[in-house]
Structure 1
């Protein structure tokens, strides 16, 4: 397996386009020796002018396009994609990201106590979203930790801070995009095609869309939207008031775009 294979697109299998300067230098390094050798060979035999032009044109084109350039791109692949490979290495060696949902009492100092307990475990809080519920507060955090920190260690820190764990999940960098920005991006997609409403809401909520025929068998936390009737299910993770409100606003947007169409 080549080093560059980790950069290949999961869908089409192609590598990203190299930087222009590196690509130009690689092609020059591949083509120049071939051009030099062919010109020296043709001049040595002193062929007629027309024969020289045709021979150089045809031979160079065939060798460069189908032989030399592809081979050089494979041989110099690690250098061509050096910046991307270094960036991927940095990503792989970066801290582990976690998304945490925790219930805590709505009292002064509780969030500070939670932050201290996480800091003792070398967990750096990157984002915090506070959702006020009828029976307390649900905090949603994204934290970065060293690779050796596990979900059990984080759960212990939350328990010591007096919180109740709702869920702890490994996260990706995309999690750092705030909910409002994500909702606006999905709204733009919905405005272009209102038929994507169920899929857009499912992506927004990180839930599964359940067709009406299967809604009776749905297991997990269920969210139902009346107009149009839709059911979404998420395992072990309650929907927050903010998430429910965003889902309804997206529904309103889809209906408005449909009416205008």
Structure 2
């Protein structure tokens, strides 16, 4: 278990562990090398060899033992102590609260959202943001919640199901998810106004979708397609796992209108 914890610190690209603090590294090497040096010196002095023989034996033998045997073994044995500060920081990160983005379909009846909030609170999930998308046969609620580290998506799914939610989708989120939606939309609109050619990429970012320049129905993977008509041809976007809501489609069309107006300006 201890070695597993240490190996979890390794870089995902090169596989190397972070370099320990210089003081810890020096103490670890001193503790590993000193007993070998003392024992070797005592043995050579006890044998009463000639000066050059003593120097040669000490230099060659200590170098081989330290570089090939003692130091690598000591680094493995003392790895947990060497990387102690990093392990403590990682433990604090692992035990910190997690953010989740949840999409759940509910009946459009009074008290449904309150019941959902109650069942999430029973799982110690704190609702940080909520947005309601009105559909023809109900509502699609999009929430951002924070939970303790031990609360997993299956437990959240169970709580949502008990509240009457269906078509549940749960994804890990980051602090960027909590950025004010209006501020984010204005920033994307400014990009389109400055450069109408950015429109496909901006809509893809707004919807969390993939821009498909040349869609082929026989080769497009499963998901929901959204097509927006332009004077020079349609734009197609693909999103798997989440259907586009009427509000999202309306936002994409408003960005398209802005791009068309900006393109006609001198």
Normalising to structure 2: TM-score of the pair? 0.62
Q: Which residue of 2 aligns with 1:102?
A: 104
Question: Could you say which structure has the larger radius of gyration?
Answer: 2
Q: What secondary structure does 1:175 align onto?
A: helix
Change in 2 beyond 3 A, CA 1:260/1:88: farther
Aligned to 2:234: 229
TM-score by length of 1: 0.63
* In 1: Cα distance, 2:218 partner to 2:185 partner: 28
Alpha-carbon distance in structure 2 between the residues aligned to 1:160 and 1:231: 37
- The residue that corresponds to 2:36 in the other structure is none
Matched, 1:124 2:93: no
Q: Secondary structure at the match of 1:226?
A: strand
Deviation per CA, 1:90-129: give whole Å up to 9, x if none.
8765410000000111111111111010000000000111
- Name the Cα RMSD after superposition: 2.4
Matched pairs, number: 178
Matched with 1:255 is 260
Aligned partners of 1:237, 1:204: CA distance in 2, in Å?
14
| Pairing of 1:166-245 with structure 2 (within 5 A) | 166-214=168-216, 217-218=219-220, 219-227=222-230, 228-245=233-250
Stretches of structure 2 that go unaligned for 5 or more consecutive residues are: 1-8, 10-88
State the match for 1:164 in structure 2.
166
Deviation for aligned residue 1:206: 0.3
- In structure 1, what is the Cα distance between the partners aligned to 2:108 and 2:153? 24
Contact 1:126 1:142 in 2 (8 A): yes
Q: 1:186 to 1:215 in 2, by over 3 A?
A: farther
Whether the aligned pair in 1 keeps the contact of 2:157 and 2:168 (CA below 8 Å) is no
Runs (4 or more) in structure 1 with deviation over 3 Å come to 87-94, 213-216
Aligned 8 A contact 1:159 1:165 in 2: no
Unpaired segments of 5 or more residues in structure 1? 1-5, 7-86
